[in-house]
Structures are given as structure tokens and as C-alpha cells.
Structure 1
């Protein structure tokens, strides 16, 4: 017999013996079981059964916690990678990102045919919440299609660390249309003010455009609820914006103290409280028959304010230009690649229908998440309004500095700069380091601020004198040093395991801000030495 055949036969023989032995052993054990059970009382058997069930239940809980922990670790690694990225071509960046997944790997919420794939709940969310969200998204897309939206080129997916997003179902080139939204699904000032229900309110009250949208959102969400035509759209909007500093607790907000965002957030809270009181008096209290059962609070007003501010589109070819565009607003932002700004993201069709189309500002392959730019926003602005930032990867980033205001120069500053108090300007470390480009208005202001009597009538848009320029950079250096000294955080600060997500985000931003300020400080010192020679 050939060797290979002999080996195979031997192997079969061994397996047969093992199988026979196993069967005999199993049979022997099985015969023992009745004897064991005969010696136990029914009560003892019940105790054993309950103990077994408790053990299985505890094992399941521990396993579930381990899986949740692993998912959270993955999310943390995603955020770390996002913060470390540099400006590189989109294809190179996206290929290495954990949240860049193909259509087969992503959690496919809706495949436009009505089929929803199964997926596990995200960390901390219940199965019930996940099921409800899937149902809401399915109803939303069905509603969009029933009213004429063309979304055949995209799918709606849940992307790790980024939430709901839009993925390409086929390859897209720059300028390709991948959505068409009919006019009837656009939320516009004209549509709101001419609605049969709300028109009496707007006919008697001259409201700002922003307030018109806010009244609409509050009425549809908290008054009409499921009876609203817009319910499928309203239902998928975020319930809260808890990662935006405006909604943070006092203790979480304290982590931003010393940053421009802190003062700005305090100011915004006071400002919007005044706006709410005004709108309450003019609309909610004056028309109780509309809002009697809605209990419109400041918290609900803030939700509507943030929904409007974070999701508004300005559409060319429409008057007024302000619109909410269902589905288009779900395209996530990702800045670390050059955007073709000659291509409008959302624009009106040329066929006179009033529909809008959404175009790709970059090339995307099938299965990739589609990204668009949110405009020229610094990391501070992104954090304030969106609840995230891109760190070094944001080509539009700049650091907001509160410049000093000398009271004895108030008249000159008011006349020549039109300023009533201390100004704020944004300094871009990228522009300063690579192009020696400093913000023009900020430099003009500083030259006026430190000008002597002899220099007071000069053109402050350019260098006045070497001595004046030295004073400018010395003043700027004091501002930057004060901001650095007011920032107590180090990398060790992030090791605190009791930090809330908001506190962790604040510290990460402050550390990034400190690094950027150090770059600006070095450039200021170089300029000061240059003009001191």
C-alpha cells in the first residue's frame, strides 16, 4: 500500500477508535445521571437549576460589558487617529480611517428597497432605542421617496464615531449629482409663513428669518407631533446636542475656562435666553391656542435654535436663500482634503421646478462615506456648533485672541476702526508659519492701539515704523503668553478615568489650542527680534 494511503487508513482507524471510546464514555456518563438525580430532592434540583440560570445570566452580562468596552476602545482609537491626521489626499486618508468602511462592512440602516440589515446596538444604547431609530430612518426614506426624492445613488449608514452618514452606492466623480430633493420637501420661509396653520401668527408678527424657522420646528415637534406632514423628518433629528458647549453643565464648561469658547458660550447663553423671552412674549404667550399643550421651555427653544443653526443651507437661486434640506444635512463634514469650492454643494435645478440637487465636491468610490465641507470654520467654531473638531487636520483653523482695549485710545479706535470695545481676531498658525501671513485687521488695530501721537495719522494697514511694529508684537506676545499660562492641562490630564465625554473633549481641545499658541508665540518672538535690529 502506498505510504499516503497507509497513513490515511491509519488515521481513519484512529478516528474510529476515538469515536468508539467517546461513545462508550458518553454512554457510561449518561447511565450515571439517573443515579445522581435519584439521590437529590426536588428542592435541591430546583436550587441547582436556579444557580445554573444565574451563572448563565451573569456570564452574559460580563460578556456584554467586555464587548461594549472593546467597541469604546475602537471609537477612542478612531478619534485619536482623526486628531493626528495631516492634510493629504482624500483617498489616502480615508483608506486608513476606522470609520471608512465599505457598503458591505458598514451598518446598513436602509438599502432603499426597505430592507434593513441587522446590527448590534452602539455602546450604551439599548436594543429598543436602536430598533426605534432604524424604524424612524426607514420611515423617513420611504417618505422622501414617496414625495419624489431621488436618492438611488446613496444609502444611509451608521458609521463608527461619526453616527449617521451618507455612503455612495456607486462611484461618484466631482460634480456628480447624487441626490435630488423636490421643492415640496424643502423647509423654506415662504412655505412656513404661507402654511394654513401658522400663517395667522406670521401675518401679525414681523419675525426674523431665524425665529420663523424656530417657531416652525417647535410647532411641528411639540404640538403636531405624529400628525405633522414633517414628522418623518423631525423624528430623525437629534433629540439633543449634548456635545456642543452651549448645552454643557457648569462643571464641564469650566474645563474650557481661559479659552475664547468659554466666554463666547456664556455670552450666547445670555443672548439666547433674551431671544427666548422675547419670542415667548410675542408668539407662545400671545397665541396660547397654538402652543397650550406644548410647554415651550428654554431647553426646547435651544434645541430648535441648534437644529436651525447646525443644519441650515443657503441655496443660490432661491429667495430667501435659507432652507432646511432633509437628507442633504446628513452628509458629514471632513476637512482634511481640498474642496472644489467652485462646485456648489446644494443648488437649484435649472429646469424651473424649484427642486434642488446635491453634488459631490470630490471623487468617492462605491461604498465610501460621502463628505462635504461645512465652510471656512475654525476648530473653535466646529466645537461650539457641531461638538467636534479636527485638530491639525483642519486647513481652516485659527486661534481666536482677545486683544486689549486701551480706554484712553477709545475715541481713535471708535473713529478709525469702528470698534466699541475689545476686539477678537482669529490667527492662523498655518498661514503665519508657511506664508508669514498675519490677519490684516488685527495688525491694523494693534498698530493704532500702540501708536504714538506722531504716528496717529498714519496708514495702519501697513507697517508704520520699526518701533511701532516692535510694540505691536510685544503686545501680541503678552496676550498669547497669558492664554498659555491660563491653560493648566497636560497629556496627564487625560488619564483621569472619571472625566465625562464633554470634559475629555474640552481638555483635548485645550491641549491642541496650547500647541497652536506655542507656534504663534515662536513666530511672534521671531518677528519682534527682526524689527528690534
Structure 2
């Protein structure tokens, strides 16, 4: 989903594929190699569980390099368990027939390839904005509701990670169904990508390109979390005597887990449970082939017909690619979680980590005023794209952060403190000027952290802040 290029092989060096067939099953590794994997997995679990007392980018990078070295050895040992990858093109017709046989309404559209996007959905007739494009019945969705009825059911009822992380449970269910010869979802799984462009597939030198970027920290965190989950479940599956887990024990590798996690991470949506009492993480076949564009959400769940319905977000002519809006996400979020960036992203922005220091002598007063405004004393704040990059939440935090003792006393005693979130708040020029200077300095520091350079004030954020600074002086 989204703009991507699956022709570029991100990630680790591809290892030779050991040919097999369904009758022979998945190749197994020798007891000696299994023992080596077990030893490495133990080390991996220990490294990925390291807790740093304070955020430290340099130490995080060191930990990542250690994780990568262990995974490289594990991947090499598990390469004997690789299976050949089928050609998606040859399975599309079977998938379309399966969808129609199970009640999906997909007339007037087809799966096609588009330059720079890979696969997407193509209109075969004209559609007006609001027309029904895709209707997918619950029956063909793969959801966390299916986990309870699967071989994972008993484990789901006892394992805390599966209970609290539905995306992980869905990823493991996807792996079970992938290797299940008679899986109902086999036609769907056969047309899923063989690999993704998520950060889990990035090589170390590719991740290095993120140094200086706020995207590096969440990318490293993502890689570490998935490596820890793999190590946790690898140990669990090898030690378990549950016959239901046996099917996973023989196919569970780091590479397969990355594939399953990336599939769920890049394609998941939420649908109501069968009883309507909760929301479920779900994979929605065909709909998840649509790529991203700016716009508004145009997919909803029809409870009466028990199906997901996607409407045209604009007019489409026959031959055009059909897009959907994934939601208001920054390019950093799209990059880390979906594996692509959208150059014209209307919702792009920069997340700033800001907080009131415990060493600040005015920390109690600042925290109290921020609490009254419903704003945390420390957290992430979004600097938005466009001429007005500072929203009310960030604006109020910056104002409180830069107030002196007398200003804090005034606003703590005022019944108009909620006005601090508005641009036209009657605030002292001294505080306003100090606030914009602080923000501009912070942006300059972030920009200098990049190995590459830009001309001064070429960044739209800087231009906007400079204009606001001029107005306040």
C-alpha cells in the first residue's frame, strides 16, 4: 500500500532458497543448527530487553548493531528453512474468483501495476465521487476474532503478549494460515507481497541515512521490538508441548516473522467485532491493495450487511489508479510503519520532544498550569506543515515553558487560562518573543543534526516561525 517500489530489495542479503514442495513440507534445519539458533535467540532476547536509564541515541545505535550481528547469524542458520516464493501475477485470477465467490463486490476494478507504486487498483469504468468501489464481507477478512478459533486459541488465552497486542496475534495467525495447506485464506495470502519496504528490511547502511532525523529513534525502536518478539516466540514455540503450536514451531523464522508483521503493519484496519461490542484488527483483502493519497477517509463498515465498504474519494475515469486516504499521518509515521513517504503529504509535520525539566525551579507551577490545560509536562508535539505550523497545544506549551514567575502566578489565578491555546491570546510581548526565539533555536538545532545541509531559512518551518517572531516583536 502507498507509493513504493518492490523492485528495490531493501534489507539483508538474500540467502539461497532451498527448493521444496507442499508434499515435502517446509525444510527443517539440523538439530545442531537448531541448538545454535536457540543459543543466539537467548542472547538476542537479552540484548533487545536492555533498558536504558535515560534516552541515549548513541547507545541505541550500539544496541542496534549488536542486534543486527545476532540476526545475521540467525538468518544464516535459518536459511535452510527458506521456501520458494510464488509469482503473485499467476495467482491474481484465482484470488479475484475467490473474492467474488465469497460475496465481495468488486465490479469495475482490477489489480494492476503502476510505475513507482507496484500493485494497486485500477478503474475499468468511470466512478463518481461517493460511488461504491469495493465491498468486502466479514467472511473473507482475517481478523483477531479468528485467532480464538485457530491453533493459536489456547495460547491466546494464556499469553499476555498475545492478549495485549492484537497486531502480534494477527501476525502469528497469518503465518499459521500461510503454511496451512487447506487454509481458507490461501488465495489471499498468495497475492500478498513477498517482502516489504518497512524499516525491518533495511540494511545497517540504509538506516544510517536516518542519522539526525527524528525518524531514526522510532525506526530503531521498531526493529528492536520485532527482534524481541521474534526471540520471545521462538523460545516459546521450541519449549511448548502444545500440539497446536507444532505447526508454527517448524516454520517460525525471523524472516517469516518480519514478513507477517510487515503485512499486518502496512495493511491493517479496524472493524467492529461480530457482536459490535469492540473493535478488531483486520486484514481486508482487495481493499488493502489501494494506494494512498491526500483526501478524506472513504471507507466504513456496513453493520447491516456485515461488510466493509469503500467509496470513491473523488471522480475516477476508466484507466486511472484508484486511491484511498490512509489517515492523517506524517511522512515519518508513513515511513516507519508503512514503508513509504508521500511527497505532497498535507498532514506532514515534525514531532518535537519537549518537556519541563525537574530541575526547573518553576517546574511545579508550569506543570500545574499545563495540567489545567490538559497538556502533559513532557511529550511529543507536532510542528505542522504549512503557514501555520504551531497548533494550540504546542502554542500553549511553549508559552507556559517560557513564562517567568510573575506570569505563571497571573495565569494560574486567572479564569481565562484556556485562552493560552489561541494565537490571539492577550499575552505579554516579552513571553511571546521569548517563545518564538526558543522554537526557532530548537528548529535550527534539529536541522544541524542532519549530516546534510540546507540554506538558512529554506525550511518552511523556519520561515513561519520567523514571521511569527517578527509579529511578536
* TM score, norm. by length of structure 1: 0.62
Supply the distance in 2 between the matched residues of 1:385 and 1:133 (Cα, whole angstroms).
23
Report Cα offsets for 1:104-123 as digits up to 9, x if no partner.
xxxxxxxxxxxxxxxxxxxx
Supply the distance in 2 between the matched residues of 1:271 and 1:449 (Cα, whole angstroms).
33
State the partner residue of 1:173.
128
State the partner residue of 2:450.
487
State the partner residue of 2:141.
186
Higher relative contact order (CA 8 A, sep 6+): 2
Partner SS state of residue 252, structure 2: coil
Alignment equivalent of 1:324, drawn from 283, 286, 291? 283
Which structure 2 residues correspond to residues 148-297 of structure 1 after superposition, within 5 A? 148-195=103-150, 197-205=151-159, 207-208=163-164, 209-221=166-178, 223-224=179-180, 226-241=181-196, 243-280=197-234, 285-286=239-240, 289=243, 290-291=245-246, 293-297=249-253
State the partner residue of 1:525.
466
Unaligned runs of 5+ in 1: 1-74, 77-128, 491-510
Structure index of larger Rg: 1
State the partner residue of 1:108.
none
> In the TM superposition, what is the alpha-carbon distance from 1:205 to its structure 2 partner?
3.6
State the partner residue of 1:134.
89
State the partner residue of 1:399.
350
The structure whose residues are more often helix, as a share, is: 1
* Mapped contact 1:477–1:525 kept (Cα < 8 A): yes
Partner SS state of residue 367, structure 1: coil
Partner SS state of residue 370, structure 1: strand
> In the TM superposition, what is the alpha-carbon distance from 1:165 to its structure 2 partner?
0.8
Partner SS state of residue 176, structure 2: helix
> In the TM superposition, what is the alpha-carbon distance from 1:145 to its structure 2 partner?
2.4
Distance of aligned partners of 1:308 and 1:413 in 2 relative to their CA distance in 1, 3 Å threshold: farther
Distance of aligned partners of 1:402 and 1:294 in 2 relative to their CA distance in 1, 3 Å threshold: same
> In the TM superposition, what is the alpha-carbon distance from 1:467 to its structure 2 partner?
1.1
Supply the distance in 1 between the matched residues of 2:457 and 2:93 (Cα, whole angstroms).
44
Equivalenced residue count is: 368
State the partner residue of 2:16.
none
* Mapped contact 2:457–2:463 kept (Cα < 8 A): no
Unaligned runs of 5+ in 2: 1-6, 9-83, 412-416
Alignment equivalent of 2:421, drawn from 447, 455, 461? 461
* Mapped contact 1:484–1:517 kept (Cα < 8 A): no
* TM score, norm. by length of structure 2: 0.69
Distance of aligned partners of 1:272 and 1:451 in 2 relative to their CA distance in 1, 3 Å threshold: farther
> In the TM superposition, what is the alpha-carbon distance from 1:332 to its structure 2 partner?
1.0
State the partner residue of 2:20.
none
State the partner residue of 2:328.
376
Supply the distance in 2 between the matched residues of 1:417 and 1:281 (Cα, whole angstroms).
45
Q: CA RMSD in A?
A: 3.1
Partner SS state of residue 98, structure 2: helix
